Amino acid sequence: MGTPPVKFGNYVQSIGVFGGLYQGGETFGEVGIGVAELDEWENLDFKGAGLSLEFNSGNNIYGVKLDAWRTLPLFPLNLGFGTVSYFQEGKFNQTLRPTVGLSHNYFRFSYGFDFILGRQNIQHLNRHQLFVRYYLPLKKRQGLQGYFTSKKNNAYFSGTIKSLKWKLTTNFTRRSQLIWKLWDCTTTAKR
């Protein structure tokens, strides 16, 4: 009996780890930690942020990256932006990296372009790169799931609406009585 619940989404928030492989002129690996949120109902609305280490052990290049990403709802198009600080034997380079690609669930396949800030001190950095990344959630927490469909929340909202109606009605009644009294005073004063 009653109306069927309306599904607003099944958002799962998580803390996890991710790994990736970057291929341009040079091959880089990546390991990191991050936070993310995925709508498991659609498997498309995926957003998150992470802190990771990029490395190319053959050329002894290491980078610390901070990035964020978002999959557009209802489309597998993924957009991201990050910054990487690269280190190689006392040399340093800072880059900004916008990314665009495809994603599904916790998997991303993207293209990135590195804007190198300042002079390029480190050779063997990729300007253009394709990468794959997988995010593995370790600790999950349910987010908003059909919030307006549970009996507890319906009772809360119903009670809130009744309370709000009572306050509005009471305030309206008091104000109308006050206005009526003022009107009555002004009309009797004129007589």
pTM of the prediction?
A: 0.67
Distances (CA, A) of 172 to 92, 161, 167, 186, 187: 68, 16, 8, 21, 22
d(CA 176, CA 174): 6
Per residue in 40-82, pLDDT tens?
666 567 889 999 999 998 999 999 999 999 988 777 899 999 9
Query: What DSSP character marks residue 5?
Result: P
Give the C-alpha separation, 53 to 107, whole Å.
18
Per-residue model confidence as pLDDT tens digits over 93-136: 999 999 999 988 889 999 999 999 989 999 999 999 999 999 99
Cα–Cα distance measured from residue 131 to residue 32, given in angstroms and rounded to the nearest whole number: 15
**For residues 136 and 138, what is the distance between their CA atoms, to the nearest angstrom?**
6
DSSP 82: E
